[in-house]
Structure 1
Amino acid sequence: MSVDTLSAATGPVDTTVSMTGWGRTAPTTALLVRPRSYAEAAAAVRDCGRRGSIARGLGRAYGDAAQNAGGSVLDMTALDRVRSIDAEAGVVVCDAGTSLHTLMKVLLPLGWFVPVTPGTRYVTVGGAISADIHGKNHHVSGSFSRHVRSLDLLTADGEIRTVLPGTPLFDATAGGMGLTGVILSAAFQLHPVATTLMSVDTERATDIDDLLARLTSTDHRYRYSVAWIDLLARGRGAALGRAVLTRGDHAPLDALPARARRRPLAFRPVRLPAAPSHLPSGLLGRTTVGAFNELWYRRAPRRRTGELQQLTSFFHPLDGVPHWNRVYGRDGFVQYQFVVGYGQEETLRRIVRSIARRGCPSFLAVLKRFGEGDPGWLSFPMAGWTLALDIPVGLTGLGSFLDELDEEVATAGGRVYLAKDARLRPDLVTAMYPRLDDFRALRGELDPRSVFTSDLARRLGL
């Protein structure tokens, strides 16, 4: 039985299943337990056995962060209660298994939006903190944990501790990939909105230098900013790194047409047919993706301002296609994301050039600017440029090619995102995450028997 079979289950689950990350690579088998209360979560941790346990939300980590071969995995999605909302101050308290999708349904009619969202709203609050997720507004708002006021953490000794920002345990937990304990609930600040529409500006960049210049000079005008980048554009001179920039903010009420003002806070997610369960692995090759990229770039406006878009279309376009990760075929895909600091633009250019020469067929490639990083010891964002791309795993020589990119990123003082990783070499992690020794020391004191562990933790020696 696979973990997908149990994703819609109700009540307690105690079944051995095969599971993967969203990239559908590196499958392992574990005992899946679905606690319905904090007491059941504590009992599951206490009885997890010598192979330990790890919490899991909606399975959107691309790699092996929420897998635990031969041990147990706690499916936290039954703990999904919104406990309180301060509609005046914009603070919500909810269980860690609550999804951002659920919060949007509840909060948007009240005029509040989550402070940070990644490219999917189907992540849990516990996962958002454990991976310290970032979004299109990092250059303005930082990552998710910056907005957390407190969290309740079930630790290896069976205690439930209230953890506050500014403490070592908070900094180890924010971005700590679930290895300090099980997040049970959290309180965090929200962002006020007047409508559920976005006012969006779109423009083309002719090459990577044009792209970096536009982002550097004008990103401060926008709360949200992202660039789709064509990583197959090569051999066309200045076309290397050509891109489409999409930037915007929540639309004010007076920007809406009269009809839309009747229900300005209505939440209307779009849902399309699910991707087929079985597609050939070679479907998304260089020719297919190259044609898609050419079409996508050409149909984008050279410049368009103030377009009104549905909130879900702007933030989560792929959420409208259930199981979109199947389009890469049975073998799955790697999502590779790295960040290098400002001043390392030449490193970024070399990597983009290498990817283009290699012909990696990626149609989901995005470049963003990060603001200052937050204090999480294993938090991914740092001030600089981050590039994320999807690559089918069947690409010949992919492993050695990505190893080369890892080394270049580490040499430049950058890092790879652990929430998307399933293949990074352990010798590079210390260079990428300079607070890793502090993390290991605190984890050793808090959890000397490694009750909380995962395939990611074992592979990288976290």
Structure 2
Amino acid sequence: MKLSGWGRYPVLEARVHAPRSVEALQALVRSEPSVIARGNGRAYGDSAINPAATLDMRHLDRMIAFDAGTGQVVAEAGVLLGDVIASFLPRGWFPMVTPGTKFVTLGGAIAADVHGKNHHRDGSFRECVDWIDLIGAEGEIRRCSREQNRALFEHTIGGMGLTGIIARAAIRLRPVESGWIRQTTIPAPNLRAAIATFEESQDATYSVAWIDCLGRGETLGRSLVMLGEHATRADLSPVQARRPFETGAKRKRSVPFDFPSFTLNRLSVTAFNKLYYWQGARKAGVEIVDWDSYFYPLDAILGWNRIYGRKGFAQFQCVLPLAEAERGLSALLEEIAETGAGSFLAVLKRFGAQESPFSFPMEGYTLALDFPITRKTLALMERLDQITIDFGGRFYLAKDSRMTAATFRASEPRLRDFRTQLDAQGAARHFRSAQSERLEI
């Protein structure tokens, strides 16, 4: 069947297996020359596609155990983060770390070592993972944790499925008093002001900014910085406080067709960005919003990836080290503004310190932008790649769909050690994806 990631680019032919038990999964791993696991298909590119054998994990979706004292959930890899929230938020528990969609599987979250709006405080998903049951090349299951098979544990988190197949995992949730978020919106007239706001808000649990990537001159990088805290009962209205975890059902909208390719252009994106910034600045201050709106605004629009048209889109996401972040971000934004190929879904976040064998985050700032697939935007992203490398940054493999092997090597000094680990585990040729082949991992 034809498969793609969330960006709908590239589209590849692949043989797909959908095992319904761990035993069936083990048998497939033993019988196929090479495999890769695929969760809910929310990686943007080709990291969860193996043309020879892609293993659809969505039938392995059982939650096995829960410890109400520690908040630990034991579950199979195909469980969606949204299912965890639906099951445990009413009991007063929420994911410790969450990406910008709840439609990601636990296995995918671990393989990509996803991050959220709280990385500066709580780190990436690896910080809430207690252990992993990993299927190796011979079909054997190994328990991996900080105490057992530690090297394999550390390389699996962020290893993009290349160390083995995650069958089960134990993760920890955080206790919360409600399903509401106390959000503070702070307009920042330019990039320097946005960075200053992030730096002054290190105590905030959550922080994220929408950034206008077409601003120029004095408005280069103007942003709306949104801070967040889990609301306590004291923050809520009397009505909300009586049922603090009932936030009401959100109305779902859908994109019923692929937008024409001319829809997203410099004029339309510029107009959208000006309006969005003006509306956000007008509403600046503190408000109480539901958890779904704060963490997952795009999940309310089913099929939003169709906005970019039939050819799909690519996301460019990099992280720049703290010392180079302002200069590097300025160079990236100036290049985008000069080209006029702006993104209306542009996000800026502050990362805290992290040392990992292969995970994406480092202390600094990460910028994520979506571009429709055209020759112009593909050429632009190659220039953005080089700027990122020039400033000591690196790229998020869960969002990549078009980087070259040479670019990846230039940005990733940890690649040799990662390859050595794959060789040591006998995984180097058995767990492969279209992405790993393209990037020569």
1:67 counterpart residue number: 49
Per-residue displacement from partner, 1:233-282 (whole Å, max 9, x unpaired)?
23xx3111111111111000111111112211236452423102332122
Equivalent position SS for 1:126: helix
Per-residue displacement from partner, 1:139-168 (whole Å, max 9, x unpaired)?
001000121110100010111000012611
For 1:367 and 1:338, the matched residues in 2 are separated by 10
Taking a change above 3 Å as real, the CA distance of residues 448 and 179 of structure 1, as seen in their structure-2 partners, is: closer
Please give the TM-score of this superposition, normalised by the length of structure 2: 0.96
For 2:393 and 2:25, the matched residues in 1 are separated by 36
RMSD of equivalent CA atoms? 1.4
Equivalent position SS for 2:387: helix
For 1:305 and 1:397, the matched residues in 2 are separated by 39
2:22 counterpart residue number: 38
- Pick the aligned partner of 1:325 from 278, 288, 305: 305
Matches within 5 A, 1:11-410: 17-48=1-32, 50=33, 52-69=34-51, 71-165=52-146, 167-217=150-200, 219-234=201-216, 237-266=217-246, 268-301=248-281, 304-344=284-324, 345-375=326-356, 377-394=357-374, 396-410=375-389
For 1:428 and 1:164, the matched residues in 2 are separated by 32
For 2:310 and 2:213, the matched residues in 1 are separated by 24
Taking a change above 3 Å as real, the CA distance of residues 406 and 440 of structure 1, as seen in their structure-2 partners, is: same
Q: Deviation of residue 196 (structure 1)?
A: 0.1
Structure 1 unaligned spans of 5+:
1-16
Q: Which amino acid aligns with 1:188?
A: I
Taking a change above 3 Å as real, the CA distance of residues 458 and 268 of structure 1, as seen in their structure-2 partners, is: farther
* Residue 419 of structure 2 corresponds to residue 435 of structure 1: no
Per-residue displacement from partner, 1:81-112 (whole Å, max 9, x unpaired)?
11111111111111110011000001101111
1:12 counterpart residue number: none
Q: Deviation of residue 352 (structure 1)?
A: 1.1
Task: Answer yes or no: is the 8 Å Cα contact 2:318–2:388 preserved in 1.
Answer: yes
Q: Which amino acid aligns with 1:215?
A: F
Per-residue displacement from partner, 1:199-253 (whole Å, max 9, x unpaired)?
0000111011111111112x2131010010001123xx31111111111110001
Q: Deviation of residue 308 (structure 1)?
A: 0.4
Task: Answer yes or no: is the 8 Å Cα contact 1:148–1:165 preserved in 2.
Answer: no
Moved more, 169-178 or 263-272: 263-272
Q: Which amino acid aligns with 2:18?
A: R
Structure 2 unaligned spans of 5+:
none
Amino-acid identity (%): 43
Q: Which amino acid aligns with 1:397?
A: K
Task: Answer yes or no: is the 8 Å Cα contact 2:258–2:308 preserved in 1.
Answer: no
Task: Answer yes or no: is the 8 Å Cα contact 2:40–2:105 preserved in 1.
Answer: yes
Aligned pairs, how many? 438
Equivalent position SS for 2:338: helix
Please give the TM-score of this superposition, normalised by the length of structure 1: 0.92
Task: Answer yes or no: is the 8 Å Cα contact 1:269–1:320 preserved in 2.
Answer: no
Task: Answer yes or no: is the 8 Å Cα contact 1:231–1:360 preserved in 2.
Answer: no
